Amino acid sequence: MTYFKAKADAYDYFSKRGVVAGELLTAKERERLVPYLHDCLFETVVIPKSKTFTSFGVRKEVNREGR
């Protein structure tokens, strides 16, 4: 699945929503939640859904060591 991975912490003042470094967002989530953040703040990654986890409402990638 294709995700947008945040490179650093950022805050969208218009939508009043922030992202944390390493957070994974789908294309639709990015359009809906943080539409005004610039593309340079994200990198596109392809990760299977089974290699992600959610903690405190933030989707992240599972590391090679486990988490």
Q: Which residues pair with 61 in a beta bridge?
A: 52
What is each CA distance from 16 to 11, 19, 32, 57, 58, in whole angstroms? 7, 10, 12, 16, 16
In tens, the pLDDT along 4-27 reads 999 999 999 999 999 999 999 999
- Sorted by sequence, the CB contacts under 8 Å of residue 53 that are 6+ apart come out as 59, 60, 62, 67
In tens, the pLDDT along 21-61 reads 999 999 999 999 999 999 999 999 999 999 999 999 999 99
Where residue 64 falls among pLDDT bands split at 50, 70, 90?
A: low
